[in-house]
Amino acid sequence: MATILITGGTGYIGSHAAIQLFEQGRFNVVSIDNQLRSSIKALDRIEAISGRRMTNYSIDACDLHAVEEVFEAHPDIVGVIHFAALKAVGESVEHPLFYYRNNLESLVNMLACCEKYHVANFIFSSSCTVYGDIAVEELPVTEKTITTEAASPYGATKLMGERIIQDFIVSTDKVKAIALRYFNPVGAHESGLNGEEPIGRPNNLVPYITMTASGLLEQLTVFGGDYNTRDGSALRDYIHVTDIADAHLLALDYLMEGRNTAPYERFNLGSGNGVTVLEAIAAFEKASGVKLNYRVGDRRPGDVEQIYSDSSLAKEKLGWETKYDINDMMASAWKWQLELNKTKEKQQS
């Protein structure tokens, strides 16, 4: 059976993609993840859901020699999905070199190995952050929307990452690539057995909501109530993690079946619906039946007012259809939080 190598296989999106790859039954899945920001327990969760145990190499993707050993151990690798990256915007401002080194060196290593070991299909986790602060008239963003200077070192690593792939693809006829620009991935596996597990205090909205509702955090601050949106809070395009994972399988097929129209293509992955922070909270309260303790506070520096996607290109070319709406996202995130709480209670007793 051919193998797909994923980096970040124990992370939030990587673990969901691993489940789907195993369930599809066409590939073996091998992962590289150093567990810097994820838990090895994800291997148990993937197995509980898919019935398959993923082999994970706990190495740093920045260690070229170690990565080469993985490729040598698996001569049947036919595709690489490169999820592994640091992703906290605020941390990237404090530690830019850490972000540039980690996110760019790992990417360069994976591309170099694809070329060296004749792996023709490469998928990269990019982000809507490449569009920067977009004027309202330009919404929704399509792949033709001009990318602007990134607002943070994290964003810059995604923009540079896309550029690195572009230059690399021009220089080789051995590798084809796709960059998937995620909007705001949220939610959890519908079983409630796999989801995001932030280490420490979360930065992102949905884990912050579910942890506050569980009493693990005291209160959620809505960052900004004076934006020019329908209720004054910032607007984003939330997309279910399962839908995001689906797109990777479709993108792999698209490349492997030679349906690509260029050696390197980029696709937006969003639902196409803008949801404000206050609407997200209301959806959560409805899905969970829990009243959330929140207050409206100051804007968070670096936040854009609103962004949402036109994902028709991914629909048209990859055949990607989203299956879940904001209510499903919140319901599954809550189910997962309750599961995490149960596990913690067991550990404490």
Binding to ligand UDP by residue 292, rule CB under 6 A? Answer: no
Nearer to ligand UDP among residue 47 and residue 303 (C-beta): 303
Please identify which residue in 35, 55, 221, 341 interacts with ligand UDP, judged by CB under 6 A.
221
Q: Show contacts with ligand UDP in window 94-153 (CB under 6 A).
A: none
Beta bridge partners of 178: 123, 265
Mask for 297-336, x = binds ligand UDP (CB under 6 A): ---x--x---------------------------------
Q: Taking the complex as a whole, how short is the minimal distance between the CB of residue 209 and ligand UDP, in angstroms?
A: 8
Q: Taking the complex as a whole, how short is the minimal distance between the CB of residue 311 and ligand UDP, in angstroms?
A: 16
Those residues with Cβ within 8 angstroms of residue 330's Cβ, 6 or more apart along the chain or in another chain: 187, 206, 209, 280, 283, 284, 286, 287, 288
Please identify which residue in 102, 126, 184, 194 interacts with ligand UDP, judged by CB under 6 A.
184
Catalytic residue among 154, 238, 294, 324: 154
Question: Where does residue 132 fall: left (phi above 0), alpha (psi -120 to 50 degrees), or beta otherwise?
Answer: left
Residue with tokens 């990859």: 318
Q: Taking the complex as a whole, how short is the minimal distance between the CB of residue 318 and ligand UDP, in angstroms?
A: 23
Binding to ligand UDP by residue 236, rule CB under 6 A? Answer: yes
Binding to ligand UDP by residue 220, rule CB under 6 A? Answer: yes
Binding to ligand UDP by residue 19, rule CB under 6 A? Answer: no
Nearer to ligand UDP among residue 95 and residue 299 (C-beta): 299
Q: Taking the complex as a whole, how short is the minimal distance between the CB of residue 2 and ligand UDP, in angstroms?
A: 34
Mask for 142-171, x = binds ligand UDP (CB under 6 A): ------------------------------
Q: Rounded CA gap, 336 and 301, in Å?
A: 30
Give the residue at shortest CB distance from ligand UDP: 234
Binding to ligand UDP by residue 214, rule CB under 6 A? Answer: no
**Which range touches ligand UDP (CB under 6 A), out of 98-106, 146-154, 203-211, 250-258?**
203-211
Q: C-alpha 238: how far from its chain's center?
A: 12
Binding to ligand UDP by residue 20, rule CB under 6 A? Answer: no
The one-letter code for the residue type at 50 is: S
- Reference 56, options 48, 38, 64; nearest CA is 38
Would residue 182 show up in a list of annotated catalytic residues for this protein?
A: no
Nearer to ligand UDP among residue 92 and residue 184 (C-beta): 184
121-127 and 238-240: which strand pairing? unpaired
Crossing angle of the two packed helices 326-348 and 205-213, in degrees rounded to 10: 50
- Decide if 188 contacts 19 (C-beta within 8 A): no
The one-letter code for the residue type at 328 is: D
Q: Tell me what percent of the chain is helix, strand and coil, each rounded to the nearest 5.
A: 45, 15, 40
Helix (H) or strand (E) holding 31: strand 28-32
Q: Across the chain, how many H-helices and E-strands are there?
A: 11, 13
Beta bridge partners of 220: 294
For ligand UDP, the binding residues (CB under 6 A) are 184, 203-205, 208, 220-223, 234, 236, 277, 300, 303
Q: Which residues are catalytic?
A: 154
